[in-house]
Amino acid sequence: MGKPNPLAWLGSPTVSAIFRLFLGAIFLYAGLVKGLDPPGFAQAIYNYRILPGWLINPMAILMPWIEVVVGVSLLLGVWVPGGSLLASGLLAVFAAALGLNMARGLDIGCGCFSTASTGPGNTLWYLVRDLGLLAMALQVLFCDRQLGSFRRLLQRTSKR
């Protein structure tokens, strides 16, 4: 018999459910805050100095609602593989942008949970936070077993 792996809980479906709900709430909240202030969010995107000008407005208009949809998917537990894959993709892209700006020494506000472009850039902290969320999203992607999800609820009630 091998020794039990002390880190096995990391892959547990319960942890997935917790991460899933947490990430869902975060994406829903972040998406709504940005979706309600497109000009502010566009300014924040511009401050990253990464995207070409013509791409900034479409991204400011569309991305928040992609986040909202991802958030709802994760909260309800519907299409979780797709939702967590998309969440992971988004978080990976954000991490790359943050990392790029750390390397460039750009000092900007995050633009993650508000549309304020002001304030000192605390880019390293934002990057660490983002990577933490990315780790959670990947855990959900690989370990989720639909605990506490809407679909399970529907299945249970329809079987009675």
Partner 1 sequence: MLQAAALLALGMAVGIAIHETRAPTLPWVGSWSAESLASRHLEGLVEVSLEDATALWREGRALFLDARDTGSYRAGHLPGAMNIPPEEAEAAGEEVKVLVEAGLEPIAYCDGVDCPLSPELARRLQAQGVRSVKVLVNGWSRWRGAGLPTEGR
Taking the complex as a whole, the smallest distance from the CB of residue 9 to partner 1 amounts, in Å, to 27
Residue 88 · residue 142 · CB < 8 Å? no
Q: Which is nearer to partner 1, 118 or 155 (CB)?
A: 118
Residue 66 Cβ, how far from partner 1 at the closest point, in Å? 3
Q: Which residues bind partner 1 (CB under 8 A)?
A: 35, 37-39, 42-43, 46, 53-54, 56-58, 60-70, 73, 79, 81-83, 85-86, 89, 107, 116-120
Distance between CA atoms of residues 45 and 97, nearest Å: 10
**Residue number with CB closer to partner 1 (22 or 79):** 79
Determine the longest span between alpha carbons in the chain, in angstroms.
61
Secondary structure of 13-59 in HEC code, one letter for each residue: HHHHHHHHHHHHHHHHHHHHHHHCCHHHHHHHHHHCCCCCHHHHHHH
Asked if 105 and 65 count as a contact pair (C-beta separation under 8 A), the reply is no
Q: Closer to partner 1 at the Cβ: 4 or 52?
A: 52
CB of 120 to partner 1, least distance (A): 4
CB nearer to partner 1: give 86 or 95: 86
